[in-house]
Amino acid sequence: MIVSGDLGADRPLVPEEIGQRFEVSRTVVRESLRVLEAKGLVSARPNVGTRVRPVSDWNLLDPDIIEWRAFGPQREDQRRELCELRWTIEPLAARLAAGHGRGAVQQRLTDMAEIMSHSLVQGDAVTFARADAEFHALVLQVAGNRMLEHLAGVVTAALQVSGGPAGGCDRPSEAAVGHHVHIVEALGSGDGAAAESAMRQLLAVHAEIGTGDRVVPAPREH
């Protein structure tokens, strides 16, 4: 209700009213508000009570908030912002990850690409999505940058919501599987430029499918 805008900024939240509305105990309400406070959605102060905080205070990288926005009135903005964020961080992560992945990681990436290929043939979108999410998370994790690794959860959340009503950047396709394979090959050979290029091509395919042929322009090569 907060994320959808039904409860605007600075709106007071009365625990008793919440408990009555959702038929839950004071303990449940108190714990729920504590969780929302940790995500930046509400603030609780002595003599003031609990109030809704403005969007600028929210932790917009929190996977739950990403999901709530993706299935609410802000779904189009959330889809665009996720695509733009991925376009910014994932090609860089692919470049940094080239040659850094251990043999086990490289094999796992290969396995995920093969699972996506088989899932595409079988029409198993759920298995495809799970393999896709693990693939992209692994690339971020082996980039050697802890801040990029921290964003793996954001990318995973983006992929998880892409198949729902929010419409996201990603849909299973042969072209997407092919680009995943190219990324694996480039990472294995230590070719950072090729890995970055393959990731950009993959995201371009996703953006084209997910935004009605509106492809996010790639930064100019230097």
Average pLDDT on 145-158 reads 88
Instruction: With 0.85 as the threshold, say if the pTM is over it.
Output: no
- pLDDT reading at 189 higher than 50: yes
The pair of three-digit structure tokens given for residue 196, joined into one six-digit string: 């970055």
Average pLDDT on 186-211 reads 84
What does the pLDDT look like over 108-146, one tens digit per residue? 999 999 999 999 999 998 899 889 999 999 999 999 999
Find the domain containing 168 and state its range.
Answer: 63-210
Residue 74, pLDDT score: 85
Confidence of residue 173 (pLDDT cuts 50, 70, 90): confident
Confidence of residue 22 (pLDDT cuts 50, 70, 90): very high
Shared-domain flag, residues 35 and 144 = no
Q: Cβ–Cβ contacts within 10 Å for residue 134, how many?
A: 18
DSSP string, 192-212: HHHHHHHHHHHHHHHHHHHTT
Shared-domain flag, residues 70 and 161 = yes
Number of compact structural domains in the chain: 2
Shared-domain flag, residues 49 and 70 = no
Shared-domain flag, residues 187 and 93 = yes
CATH number, domain of 99, equals 1.20.120.530
Residue 221 lies in a domain: no
Cβ(49)–Cβ(18) under 8 Å?
no
- pLDDT reading at 213 higher than 60: no
Point out which residues pair with 138 in neighbouring strands. Answer: none
CATH number, domain of 29, equals 1.10.10.10
What does the pLDDT look like over 32-74, one tens digit per residue? 999 999 999 999 998 889 999 999 999 999 989 998 998 888 8
